[in-house]
Structures are given as C-alpha cells and as structure tokens.
C-alpha cells in the first residue's frame, strides 16, 4: 500500500482545502511558506522530531486529510471542534508524534487553551523540535507570546528536573533577546531566572550569565524615572535588592493589615518592590483593597509564586469569593495549576465551598481536572457528600472523570458509598459510574457498604450488578464482612444473591 508522507503532501492538501490565500499565516510560517506563496522546494518542514525519529507518515490518505484539518484547528484556536475531531480519531489522539506536532502549531498560532490541553494530554514540551529546530518554548519566545512561554515553563517546573531541561534553559538564556521587544525580554528573563534558582536548589547547575544585565533594579539605577511597576510582570520573585529585612517585614505587615496608605509610602521609598509580589501576598492574606491596588498598578492576575500558585488559587484555598470574582473579572485564568496540579476548582470542592465551585464552573473551570494525587472535583464533592455540586459537575461534563481513582484507589463512587448516599449513587450510575472498582485495600463499593453495615446501600448495589463474590486484600468477601458485623439479615441476603458457578 502506498504511504502518504505529510512532509510531501500537507502543502498540497492544505492549499486544496483552503486555497493559498486562506492558509493562516502562522501555518505558513511553520511550513516554510512565505507571504507570497511557496518559498522554495526546500520545504521539508512538517512534523516534530526527537533525535533518531522520523516524520509522520500516513498509509491512509483520509487520515492525512483529517490531520491537516487538526493542524488548521490547532492554529485557529477552535478547541471544541479540535477536541471533537481528535475524539473521533483515537489513533491520532493516542499518537505522541501527532500530539507533539499539533503542539508546535498551537504554540505558533498563539492558542493558549489548545496548548494547555495538549500538554495535559501528554505532548512533549522538552524533547521535541519542529523543522526549524524550535522547541515549543523557543517557538513561544520567537512568537513573543509570554503567556504561552509561561505556561510551558510552569509545566517544566512542575516536572522532575532533567539535565536535558537544564541544557535547554541554558541555551534559551542566550537566545531570548533576539528580535523580541524589551518588555517581553525582561518578562522572559525573570521567568527563566525563577527556573534557574529552582534547579540550583536541586543540584543542577545552569549558567545565569546575562540575566542580571537588564533587570528592573539595574534599570532603576541607570534611570531614576524608570517605572518598575509597569515592567517584568511574569514572576512574583523579583531579583531586586531590598534595603534590609525590615523592608520586607514592613511590606508583609502593611499588606496583612490592609493598610494601603502605608504601603504606598513604602513603595515610594522602595519602587523596586514588584507589584506582582504585592498581589501574591495580598491574595494569600485575603486583603481585597491591596489586591485591587496591585492590579491597578500593573500586577499580572496570573502571576505565579515559587509553588506555581496564582492569586486566584490562593483566593480559592482561602475561600475568598470576593477576591475570586475580582481576579477573574481582571483576566485571571480559571484553569491554572499549582505545583500539586490543583486548580482553583479542585480547591473549592476540596474545601466544600459550593458557592465558589458553582461560580468557577460557570466561568469555564475544567470539571475534569486532575490533581497530582489524581483527585478530581467530583471526587471531592462526593467525599463531602455534596450532592448539589456533584449534580452541577455532571451537568457540565464530569462523567468523563467519574471513574478516576486517586493514588489511594478511592473513587467518586467509593466516597458516595462511604457516605451512604443512595440517591447520589443512582445519579452517578446513570452517568456511567463503575460499581465494582476496588481501592488499594481491595474494597469494592459493595464490600465497603457491607463493612459499614449499610443494608440499604448493599441492596442497591447488588440489585444493580455489584459482584458479591469479590474478595478484598485480606480475603474477605462482602458476606464475611457482613458476618463480622453480626448482621444476619444482610448475610442471608448476600448469600441468596450469590450466583451459582457455571458448570464446566
């Protein structure tokens, strides 16, 4: 069968589908196409690669056509249609090479949400490069997209550091300033500096030469009128030198007290103090007026601290609804994750804050987000026996994560059974919940119900197909667990429910 190589035919496919004039400029750039048309026959450029890898090759021309549509969607930013098309073509969705290539196009197109989704789906951020030898991160730098650069960097920071990542960052330090406007250079350098400091604490040496040249503090020394509060908006931890520990102590004290006037006086004396630092502390200390002041003076609502915690996440941890609404109105992204991969919604459900969870869901929070421990919003809502939030999450698509088990093996159903909520369990079952999943100790929902001596729950589970014969790690069946509780009625019911073994 003839194989169709994307590197040879994508250009023809795209031009035939869209017409040359309708090809998005970002796609042209990655393909090697000039604004006037095909630059030269030397376009060998399609796909991503790792050392020793080859380009994507399709044996089926229809798959190639679908792939070209995915590239266009990734570049244009239609995430709903993009995800829908991938779900219909699971072979493409599960291909790491396909995801890596689509990631490069999404970065090139500046499509933040698609980039984020591809990263969470397993696309390689560190080890791949396109045909221009750009990694996703270096491509984000070249496209002057600080938001996507920050997203990619944060992903790198959240992973176990590797020598290859360190080398990549080291090389980027040397190339960032080329062709990028001054404010973006400063932002990116601060972002890289944060990474360098973290790696140093882990014993990985990365040269920071060049990072000190254009920082805010040196700019202030060179130019007394330089307004540090309007630049370098990407990281909380500025490298600017404070006069003494007392300055820092006063800063935290004034923020904690919500004393904006004294804070203003301190900033007049020390203009090198970064507004992002003020915002981060104010959100953590729940000082709305200071949060507003920091935003009004140029703080980035999506700034992260050393734990990748955004002000919105801090507000959600604290349950401060007023600050949450204000930050989102000012552009805070609802699906950012901290170092533990917790989103604002996961914290809201963990803290059983129905009002905040409802608001975040309505503002587009990912109802299927996974924490580092594999906890989900619906799992936390079930743990707290919060049926209202469970229904709200299911209404917005949480059935996708309904059977996810966390690192302890606990599931949404197991928490529901633990709480004895039969009505909630019926709703979960109708949305595809598995009634036979085990946790780490081998307890199924039925075994847990028997252990908890909940006859009503036991009856419901058996009537809806729960396995009566399964054993936990100690070898106990639901019948034996009921016997330990001396519940004769439950024991009798379970024994009568055991299906006889089929004759061989």
Q: What is the per-residue pLDDT for 240?
A: 41
**Would residue 105 count as lying in a domain?**
yes
pLDDT of residue 56: 55
Give residue 242's domain range: 231-339
Q: 8-14: long-range contacts (C-beta < 8 A, 24 or more apart)?
A: 9/64, 10/46, 10/64, 10/67, 10/68, 10/71, 11/38, 11/43, 11/46, 13/64, 13/65, 13/68, 14/68, 14/71, 14/72
- Assess if residue 66 is contained within a domain: yes
Structure confidence at residue 202 (pLDDT)? 54
Find the radius of gyration of the CA atoms of the chain: 27
- Looking at the fold, whether 12 and 133 belong to one and the same domain comes out as yes
Residue 141 and residue 29 in one domain: yes
Whether 413 has a pLDDT exceeding 90, the answer reads yes
Across all residues in the chain, what is the average pLDDT?
A: 76
Lowest mean pLDDT across 247-256, 400-409, 421-430: 247-256
Is residue 172 very low, low, confident or very high in pLDDT (cuts 50, 70, 90)? low
Residue 132 forms part of a structural domain: yes
Q: Is the pLDDT of residue 99 over 90?
A: no
Per-residue pLDDT averaged across 467-496, rounded?
Answer: 93
User: Does residue 347 sit within a domain?
Assistant: no
Task: Using alpha carbons, select from 138, 120, 14 the residue that is nearest to residue 76.
Answer: 14
Query: What value does the mean pLDDT take over residues 385-399?
Result: 96
Q: Are residues 7 and 141 in the same domain?
A: yes
**Three-class DSSP labels, 426-443:** HHHHHCCCCCCCCCCCCC
Structure confidence by residue, pLDDT tens digits, 285-313: 999 999 999 999 988 898 887 778 899 99
Separation CA 283–CA 312 (nearest Å) = 8
Q: Are residues 237 and 131 in the same domain?
A: no
How much is the pLDDT for 325?
98
Of the pLDDT bands very low, low, confident and very high (cuts 50, 70, 90), residue 84 is confident
pLDDT the model gives residue 147? 79
pLDDT band at 282 (very low <50, low <70, confident <90, very high): very high
* Domain-embedded: residue 90: yes
pLDDT at 34: 31
Q: 141 and 11, same structural domain? A: yes
Q: Which helix (H) or strand (E) holds 296?
A: helix 288-296
- Per-residue pLDDT, 225: 37
Using the structure block, give the residue that is written with the tokens 């935290």: 252
Backbone phi, psi, residue 320, to 5°: -95, 95
Query: Of 413, 455, 401, nearest to 438 (Cα)?
Result: 413
**Confidence (pLDDT) at 145:** 78
Beta bridge partners of 57: 5
Q: Of 312, 339, 366, which one is at a domain's C-terminal end?
A: 339
Span 348-371, average pLDDT: 95
Task: Tell me, yes or no, whether 117 and 248 share the same domain.
Answer: no
pLDDT of the residue at 23: 41
Greater confidence (13 vs 170) lies with 170
> What's the pLDDT band for 486 if we cut at 50, 70, 90?
very high
Distance, in Å, from the CA atom of 19 to the CA atom of 444, rounded to the nearest integer, reads 57
Same domain, 133 and 255: no
Per the domain annotation, does 226 fall within a domain?
no
Per-residue model confidence (pLDDT) at position 460 = 97
Do 136 and 241 have their domain in common?
A: no
Boundary residue ending a domain (112, 131, 146)? 146
Range in 115-119, 232-236, 308-312, 454-458 with the lowest mean pLDDT:
232-236
Helix (H, G, I), strand (E, B) or coil at 410: coil
Q: Is residue 395 part of a domain?
A: no
238-275 pLDDT tens trace: 334 444 567 778 888 999 999 999 999 988 888 878 88
Evaluate if residue 331 carries a pLDDT over 50: yes
Any domain includes 302: yes
Instruction: Output the domain CATH number for residue 62.
Output: 1.25.40.20
High-pLDDT (> 90) share of the chain, %: 42
Query: In this structure, are 244 and 130 located in the same domain?
Result: no
How many residues are recorded in the chain?
504
Tell me, yes or no, whether 107 and 14 share the same domain: yes
- Residue 429 pLDDT more than 70? yes
Determine the distance from the C-alpha atom of residue 343 to the mean position of all C-alpha atoms in its chain, rounded to a whole number.
Answer: 8
Domain count, the chain: 2
The string of pLDDT tens digits covering residues 130-142 is: 766 777 887 887 7
β-pair type (57-58, 37-38) = unpaired
Are residues 6 and 121 both part of a single domain? yes
**Residue 92 or 357, more confident:** 357
Q: In this model, does residue 416 exceed pLDDT 90? A: yes
Please say which residue of 313, 339, 365 terminates a domain: 339
Higher pLDDT, 33 or 302: 302
Do 135 and 239 fall into the same domain?
Answer: no
* 345-372 exposure pattern, b = at least 16 Cβ within 10 A, e = fewer: bbbbbbbbbbebbbbbbebebbbbbbbe
């Amino acid at each position: 069968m003839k194989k169709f190589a994307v590197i040879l035919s994508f250009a023809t496919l795209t031009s035939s589908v869209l017409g040359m004039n309708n090809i998005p400029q970002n796609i042209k750039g990655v393909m090697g196409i000039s604004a006037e048309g095909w630059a030269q026959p030397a376009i060998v450029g399609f796909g991503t690669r790792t050392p020793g890898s080859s380009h994507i090759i399709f044996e089926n021309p229809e798959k190639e056509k679908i792939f070209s549509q995915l590239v266009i969607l990734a570049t244009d930013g239609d995430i709903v249609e993009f995800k829908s098309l991938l779900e219909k073509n699971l072979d493409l969705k599960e291909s790491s090479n396909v995801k890596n290539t689509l990631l490069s196009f999404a970065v090139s197109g500046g499509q933040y949400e698609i980039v984020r989704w591809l990263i969470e789906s397993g696309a390689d951020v560190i080890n791949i490069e396109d045909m221009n030898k750009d990694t996703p991160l270096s491509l984000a730098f070249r496209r002057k997209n600080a938001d996507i650069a920050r997203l990619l960097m944060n992903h790198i920071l959240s992973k176990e550091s590797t020598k290859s990542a360190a080398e990549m960052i080291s090389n980027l330090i040397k190339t960032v300033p080329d062709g990028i406007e001054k404010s973006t250079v400063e932002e990116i350098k601060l972002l890289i500096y944060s990474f360098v400091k973290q790696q140093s604490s882990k014993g990985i040496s990365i040269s920071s030469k060049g990072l000190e040249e254009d920082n805010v503090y040196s700019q202030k020394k060179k130019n007394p009128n330089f307004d540090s509060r309007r630049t370098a908006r990407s990281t909380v931890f500025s490298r600017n030198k404070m006069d003494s520990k007392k300055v820092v102590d006063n800063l935290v004290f004034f923020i904690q007290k919500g004393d904006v006037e004294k804070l203003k006086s301190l900033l007049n004396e020390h203009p090198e103090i970064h507004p992002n630092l003020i915002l981060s502390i104010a959100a953590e200390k729940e000082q709305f007026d200071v949060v507003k002041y920091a935003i009004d003076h140029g703080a980035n609502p999506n700034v992260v601290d050393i734990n990748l915690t955004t002000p919105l996440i801090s507000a959600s941890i604290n349950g401060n609804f007023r600050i949450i609404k204000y930050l989102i109105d000012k552009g805070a992204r609802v699906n950012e994750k901290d170092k533990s991969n917790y989103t604002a919604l996961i914290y809201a459900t963990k803290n059983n804050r129905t009002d905040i969870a409802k608001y975040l869901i309505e503002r587009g929070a990912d109802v299927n987000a996974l924490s580092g421990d594999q906890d989900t919003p619906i799992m936390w809502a079930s743990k707290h026996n919060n049926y209202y939030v469970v229904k709200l999450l299911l209404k917005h698509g949480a059935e996708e994560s309904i059977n996810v088990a966390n690192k302890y093996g606990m599931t949404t159903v197991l928490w529901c059974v633990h709480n004895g909520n039969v009505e909630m369990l019926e709703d979960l079952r109708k949305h595809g919940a598995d009634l036979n999943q085990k946790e780490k100790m081998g307890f199924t929902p039925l075994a847990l119900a028997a252990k908890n001596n909940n006859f009503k729950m036991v009856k419901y589970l058996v009537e809806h197909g729960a396995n009566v014969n399964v054993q936990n790690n100690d070898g106990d069946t639901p019948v034996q667990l009921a016997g330990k509780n001396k519940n004769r009625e439950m024991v009798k019911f379970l024994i009568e429910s055991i299906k006889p073994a089929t004759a061989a």
